[in-house]
Chain A
């Protein structure tokens, strides 16, 4: 056996090259090649992330670890959001009751589920949900991923089970592939279904209304004088509006009875807590895009902002659980118009027509 190496006296010096430069590079090729098999895994490319359009001054949105907003997850979620495959008779999708032009709300008081089954509450607007701490009008679900399991499985909504959805999706190789790419560890699963929908719904962020331009981007001209006066009224002790509908999402955590009725057909929060003191209380909703999300209230019983403002001005029906903050106020006709004009300044036209949120 001969272990003698070929005589290459200058190989280590790196100064005097016995061979042409090109040949030297050639020598290194085997080393470059061998790096890959040692690593076993190919270098992972950082997945493309969705960047949310959030102005400075807004706290960061909390994201569940493992469900960071990659483009592929958001794309999968959007696909599912618009796909009627999630409903029993494959006639309705999430978007049937949450339409983009309506601020991801519905134009009827109470939406219809499969076979025209009627629910009992108004479909909520889906906007800036990543900052909410409770979902559904009664706050029965604590996360967006838990919330979406309600409409999917409710008898009067989509009336499906996860087992059946997975059975359907598994027959579509393109979906199976999409799930595997978006969630390599779980693939097509109940987990990935809820997380993908959650990822998409977290991209439903709206911070481009005239109010946002005025407040967060310092564009004084974004609100007209009537709207500026309306903003002042909104935040005044006279109306108390912002005490409940405050902050960057025009809402506050918690539930309130806003004095719609003396007797509530829908027990609201009490359905969850079984506390009579919670009867007729509902989640305080956001007012973002309120100009396009009519009808209003948990039961969709009011059709115009004027009607809503007038309701609060009269002080409500005095239900025992009614919020103390609702005690009535007197506005001049101009002030009433100013307040409504301000509410219309919460409409984000960019959000309502953003193609990345469309099917």
Chain B
């Protein structure tokens, strides 16, 4: 009995030493995206650890085929001049769509304006995605909540320099557009009439779907590119009419609804 045991022991010892002799290979993490990437390793042992993957949203502000810059003058299809002082909207409820379903980017709120060509959407799970969805506007709970309760650097904070909110009824302006347009009839070539679209309330919230072909590796990063074309909102609008130039939503619901219905035309994949 004792002999058998020691024989077995010898065999075991031989086995172990043979393994260590043959494996000149270095085991470790061979993925350069990993935090513990080992450049001496040539055999991946499954030990890779990753930082969370991230997602960037790149945006182009446009007016038709031109780049949109706040303060610059543009020409509508009708030939009328127009310029923008403010063009902003809140984005929320970001979701990444994959073959298996939707992944919500919890508590991600952003406010878009033409200067924000790169928006960091934070960390996302690695995966293959077919669409990015988000809402223009904010959810009801946040919309009626106290904007002062957010941290000052939060997109929805009342301390934000671009805080767009109806203080007296506790709701965000989902989209705020202000500028000047030539509304005279016949047109006189001068953008002198107020353009003011203050779009809000839950009835104006719309979901935007951006189709993507996006693979985000473990520890990697993804990019989605969208364009925001302000010209799209003007289809079928008659800017000689004040009712097509000014709305604070409740005082001119048809225009607010028109604008909201055109979010999906204006905000598209690039």
Contacts and interface: CB of A to CB of B under 8 A. Distances in A.
A190 B159 contact: yes
Contact of A190 (B144, B152, B167, B170): B152
B161 interface: yes
Interface in B116-151: 144, 146-151
A166 B163 CA distance: 14
Interface SS, A side: helix
A256 interface: no
A162 B167 contact: no
Contact of B144 (A142, A161, A166, A186): A142
Contacts of A274: 250
Given A145-B148, A146-B146, A189-B151, A162 B159 contact: yes
B92 interface: no
A190 B250 contact: no
7 contacts: A143-B146, A145-B146, A150-B167, A162-B158, A162-B163, A190-B147, A193-B148
B161 A154 contact: no
A136 interface: yes
Interface hub of B151, B161, B168 (most chain A Cβ within 10 A): B168
A353 B152 CA distance: 37
Contacts, number: 67
A92 B53 CA distance: 50
A153 interface: yes
Interface in B163-206: 163, 167-170
A146 B150 CA distance: 13
B152 A140 contact: no
Given A149-B147, A189-B151, A194-B146, A140 B158 contact: no
Contacts of A271: 169, 250
B159 A149 contact: no
A189 B159 contact: yes
Nearest to A189: B152
A348 interface: no
Given A162-B158, A274-B250, 19 more contacts: A140-B169, A140-B170, A141-B169, A141-B170, A142-B144, A143-B146, A161-B161, A162-B148, A162-B157, A162-B160, A163-B159, A163-B161, A166-B152, A190-B148, A191-B148, A191-B149, A191-B150, A193-B148, A271-B250
A150 B160 CA distance: 16
Which of A143, A145, A189 is the most central at the interface, judged by chain B CB atoms within 10 Å of its CB?
A189
Interface size class of A (residues with CB under 8 A): 20 to 34
A166 B150 CA distance: 15
Given A143-B146, A162-B148, A274-B250, A190 B168 contact: no
A195 B146 CA distance: 11
A63 interface: no
Contacts of A190: 147-148, 150, 152, 157-159
A195 B167 CA distance: 16
A163 B148 CA distance: 11
Contacts of B146: 143, 145-146, 194
Contacts of B159: 162-163, 166, 189-190
A58 interface: no
Contact of B167 (A153, A186, A193): A153
A140 B163 contact: no
Interface string B14-32: 0000000000000000000
A278 interface: no
B168 A150 contact: yes
B220 to A, nearest CB: 35
Given A140-B168, A154-B167, A193-B148, A149 B158 contact: yes
Nearest to B144: A142
A272 B248 CA distance: 12
Q: 3 nearest interchain CB pairs?
A: A190-B159, A190-B148, A140-B169
A154 B167 CA distance: 8
Contacts of A191: 148-152
A75 interface: no
B263 to A, nearest CB: 22
Contact of A142 (B148, B152, B170): B170
Interface in B62-87: none
A138 interface: yes
A190 B150 CA distance: 8
A153 B167 CA distance: 8
A122 to B, nearest CB: 15
Interface in A269-284: 271-272, 274
Nearest to B169: A140
Contacts of B170: 140-142, 146
A105 to B, nearest CB: 19
A163 B168 contact: no
Contacts of B167: 141, 146, 149-150, 153-154
